[in-house]
A and B are shown apart, each in its own frame.
Chain A
Amino acid sequence: LLIIVLASGCKAKGAEPVETIQVYAASSLRDAFVDLKDDFEAVYPGAKVALIFAGSHILRHQIERGARAHIFASADMSHVQRLADRGLAGEGRIFATGELVVITPLDNPAGIDRFEDLVRAKRLVIASDVVPLGAYTRTLLSRSAEKLGASFEPHILSAVVSEEINARLVRAKVELGEADAAIVYRTDALSSARVRVVEIPAKMNVRARLSITTILGEEKRLWSDTWISFVGGPLGHKILARHGFVVE
């Protein structure tokens, strides 16, 4: 053990200093950011990226309580804005947007093939309105009233059997076959082989705006800005698009 400690000590002194940036990211970014991290570390050998995933609100709360974050990527604008207002973060910029889709189990027990068919779901699971996905879902449902009639929204809401805390929990209920349908981000649907996607007409669909910023106060890391430009650059866009995000 001693030898290992000594050896690693020498290595750290001899080589170029490796700097780690702590990236706090919303749960829905997990798969895309894991890929981004691999490519980033390959392009910049001196950089190490530590990814911390949780609901945006939990991350914001942790950062407010002094978590050592360098970067914060949130599923909506409000959490970044609240940190910026308190002087804890720089101004956020939108780096991608996410669409909503309906998902069903592969055997589609309720026979949902179009968005309108959602009224057939007897057990519908959505996200709680306290998380961004839940807020987007409610916006979508109230918007659909114009196209699908005033009774659509109350009918759908009456079939809701659970309001989950995050997108992955919403999806899990469909993957396990317990829910007839659910509404999640396209990214969550794409990363699971056990759900079927039903498109939501573009006119009604809602765009989630994913926002990224640097956290102030913590010792400045050189790689922070590089990471943000990387995420917004061509390679970053390619990876984000592959995971179902919309990038301009």
Chain B
Amino acid sequence: MDGAGLFSARRGPILLAAMPMLALLLLPILGLFFGVTPNEVLEGSRHPLFGSALGLSARTSVVSLAIIFIAGTPLAWWLAVAPSKQTRAVEIVVDLPIILPPAVVGIALLQAFGRGGILGDQFAALGIQLPFTTSAVVLAQVVVAAPFYIQSAAAAFRRVDPDILIVARTLGQSPFSAFIHVAIPVAMPGLIGGAALAWARALGEFGATLLFAGNLAGETQTAPLAIYMALESDVRAAVALALVLAGAAAILLFVFRSLPFAWRQGNRP
């Protein structure tokens, strides 16, 4: 069943064809590294803006990921099991935040939840103010990142064999219980992969945050915003900050991506 073995004779040409894309992705990152000295990176990581911005990014992106997981999983499941006639339109709605420029998503969020927005009066009556708050940062991240998780989770759920769910039901499990104890564990590698993608997108979120949450150190200034601000005054500091962020994200993504393998190993009979 080893696919790599089947194609091993052809791997050379495939690798050759894959190189241009890989180089295109890798070269800009290398460019960042060559632009600064290790000392500057160290200095950049001590930049006054950076500590609070990185902390805020870590906190908000984790909260966003939790919301995406809790609220996105049922939607992904529905997309996977409902008839495609019903899901087709919903899938487009789910995809839209990926297609729209993030700044437009930011404006859209203001039009929905801002003072002059659709829910503006209701929120004002409740004394809730979202724009310019840390909650706005989270909301922006959830909206732009959730589609990545939902699509990946729905694809994973579609691969769950309906027969094992039927077996679970005949063994007396409720539909909810079958979903929790059978569908989710089976789809887990796909869910984790989607979560990694969504988390990465939330961490890098810039445009929607800038419009919807604004930019204030300690409140709404996440790492990407701090990097952009630093870019205005000191390009090298900005690059150093970006490298620290990229390094942290790369390590976390690596751990995240290794989880599905660990999951499979752990669940092997």
Query: Which A residues are within 8 Å of any B CB, using their own CB?
Result: 55, 57-58, 61, 123, 125, 128, 130-131, 160-165, 169, 172-173, 176-178
Q: Say whether A178 contacts B114, CB under 8 Å.
A: yes
Complexed CA–CA distance, A165 and B210 (Å) = 9
Contact partner, A164, options B111, B214, B230, Cβ 8 Å: B214
Closest-by-CB residue of B relative to A109 is B115
Contacts of B111 in A (CB 8 A): 176
Besides A57-B232, A178-B114, 12 other A-B contacts (C-beta < 8 A): A128-B229, A130-B230, A160-B216, A162-B214, A162-B215, A163-B214, A163-B215, A172-B211, A176-B114, A177-B115, A177-B116, A178-B116
- Cross-interface CB contact of B228 among A161, A162, A165, A177, cutoff 8 Å: A165
Q: How far apart sit A130 and B235, CA to CA, in the bound complex (Å)?
A: 12
Residues from chain B with a CB closer than 8 A to the CB of A130 are: 229-230, 232-233
Name B residues whose Cβ lies closer than 8 Å to a Cβ of A: 107, 110-111, 114-116, 131-132, 210-211, 213-216, 219-220, 228-233, 235
B232 contacts which of A160, A161, A165, A169 (Cβ < 8 Å)? A165
Also in contact, A128 and B232, with CB within 8 A (given A177-B115, A178-B110): yes
CA A163 to CA B220, docked complex, whole Å: 10
Cα distance A160–B233 in the bound complex, in angstroms: 21
Q: List 21 A-B contacts (CB under 8 A).
A: A57-B233, A58-B231, A123-B132, A128-B215, A128-B229, A130-B232, A162-B213, A162-B220, A164-B214, A164-B215, A165-B215, A169-B211, A172-B211, A173-B214, A176-B107, A176-B110, A176-B111, A176-B114, A177-B116, A178-B110, A178-B115
Chain A residues within 8 Å of B132, by CB: 123, 161-162, 178
Whether A161 contacts B114 by the Cβ 8 Å rule is no
Q: Which residues of chain B come closer than 8 Å to A172, judged between CB atoms? A: 211
Complex alpha-carbon distance, A130 and B232, angstroms? 6
**CB neighbours of B228 from chain A (8 A):** 165
Q: Could you tell me the distance in whole angstroms from the C-beta of A88 to the nearest C-beta in chain B?
A: 15
